[in-house]
Amino acid sequence: ILVKGGQLKDDTDMSTLGLKENAVLMMMGTVGELPKAPATQTKFIEDMSENEVAQALAIPAGLVNLGNTCYMNATLQCLKAVTEMKEALDKLKTQSSGGGGGSGGSQGSSVHKSLASSLKSLFEQLNESGEGVPPMVFLHMLRQMSPKFGEVDPRAGGYRQQDAEECWNEILTSLDQSLSPGSNEPSMIEKYMSGTMVTTWRADDAPEETPTVNQERFRKLDCHIDSSVNYVSQGIHKGLEQVIEKRSESLGRNTEYKVVSRIARLPKYLTVAYNRFFWKASESVEAKIVKSVKFPLDLDVSEFCTPELQDKMRPAKQYLRELEDKKALERKLAKRARYEKDEEEGAKGSSEKAAGSSGDVEMESAEAAPFELDPELKADVGCNPSGVYELIGVVTHIGRTANSGHYIGWVRKEKGVGGPEPSGKGIPETQHWWYKFDDDNVSMVTDSDILRLCGGGDWHTAYVTLYRAKSLE
């Protein structure tokens, strides 16, 4: 409302305006209903509670801790990231009780099938639930299969804390027997999570003695940790090359043998276990090595393979290297474009310039030169044909001994799967987002947060890492 001398405001003293009878006032505005306030108030991520963030981002459900069961919860959340495992579990309902799988007796076979069936049901509950799921049936079957996980601490009166790596191994051993489509066919665990290791024993004191060569399956690589190990590749190398003393038949006495192991087949999913616990006799405990051992988001293990396998994998490895170089260049150009666009839009008087140029950069999707994959690797379903892996899961431990502390699972979120990724002002940039499964408390973290799990103090420290073969598609 305009009056002589200016605009009429809510706090204007009407007696000072000198209004007379029949005076004309001018009112300016829009004819019609005033705009209403939004029914739902806009809320930004930084203003939300943890529960509100979980709902907005469709964060997956966690597992309820049933009394020192964090070791199992963390393990299961990481194993759930293995797509082929979920597919194999889904097929269990089509198998009859006398179907394939199980190399032991009927009772042992029944326990393994029951464990697999309970795991299938648990994964389905996790997919359907929006809240924490109590894994009571699976825990019962795990303790029935391996009574160690049901040990009770007489002093505390509850169940003992257990080792997550032992739980990981026990579950895979059981699934190896229950997830086989037939008696003569390899199980899902053998195809996708097991490799082949060739080990050679040679004694320098007995050059005339024929070296002993053994070939066996493996499901994990051990990362040995001492004062000289700073990176996971160094720890793996120590585990593959050792000196062991044993009796030599040709010499008639004990001598040192150089034991060298090389990988002849790489699985699609590679488990790396960090040997962080040792027996401390003075305190009668399994003490923890807290030394920092850095691990990468992308791991190349071709140096640990046989020369024959390295030759077969070389074309695929070179293809991935070229593809990654092109993707890195695209990310660099896109980041520069966003920066220039922000600078342009933030400058005063640049509206016309901003309208004429969005700041975007036209780029073709990353491609690399085609290559010919080795026929044997192409026919080997479930192998890694390149030797290059990407990190998708981590089990961490915080604490000073193996029988105490707390385990957490960290699982990479696949792009385009599940809820939206965090975005907006103040949200850090990251190539991938990760789910942090602290039992039934689930949140999201970045690549940088994952790389900080390398150890070096009283913080969450990587104990088991799960890698997946990088896709060639």
6/27 Cα distance (integer angstroms): 12
- Joined together, the tokens standing for residue 4 give 């002589």
Indicate the burial class of 128 (C-beta count within 10 angstroms; 0-12, 13-18, 19 or more). exposed
- Joined together, the tokens standing for residue 19 give 């209004």
235/168 Cα distance (integer angstroms): 20
Residue 337 exposure: Cα atoms within 13 Å on the Cβ side = 13
- Joined together, the tokens standing for residue 342 give 């922000």
For residue 201, CA distances in Å to 134, 257, 266 come to 48, 6, 22
Residue 160 DSSP class: P
Place of tokens 């049933």: 66
Backbone angles phi, psi at 400, to 5 degrees: -110, -15
Strand partners, 242: 259
Q: Is 397 noted as a catalytic residue in this protein?
A: no
Helix runs in 206-306, H state only: 232-240
- Joined together, the tokens standing for residue 110 give 């029944």
- Joined together, the tokens standing for residue 199 give 């080990």
Helix runs in 146-258, H state only: 164-178, 188-193, 232-240
Concatenated DSSP letters of 132-159: -B--HHHHHHHHHH-GGGG-B-TTTSSB
Return the number of other C-beta atoms located less than 10 Å from residue 140's C-beta: 15
For 343-385, the three-class secondary structure string (H helix, E strand, C coil) is HHHHCCCCHHHHHHCCCCCCCCCCCCCCCCCCHHHHHCCCECC
Q: Are 178 and 108 in contact (CB under 8 A)?
A: no
Question: Which of the following is catalytic: 70, 78, 223, 305?
Answer: 70
230/223 Cα distance (integer angstroms): 11
Q: Are 410 and 393 in contact (CB under 8 A)?
A: yes
Q: Is 383 noted as a catalytic residue in this protein?
A: no
Question: Which of the following is catalytic: 305, 406, 432, 460?
Answer: 406
Length of the chain: 473
Q: Are 444 and 433 in contact (CB under 8 A)?
A: yes
270/194 Cα distance (integer angstroms): 8
Catalytic residues: 70, 406
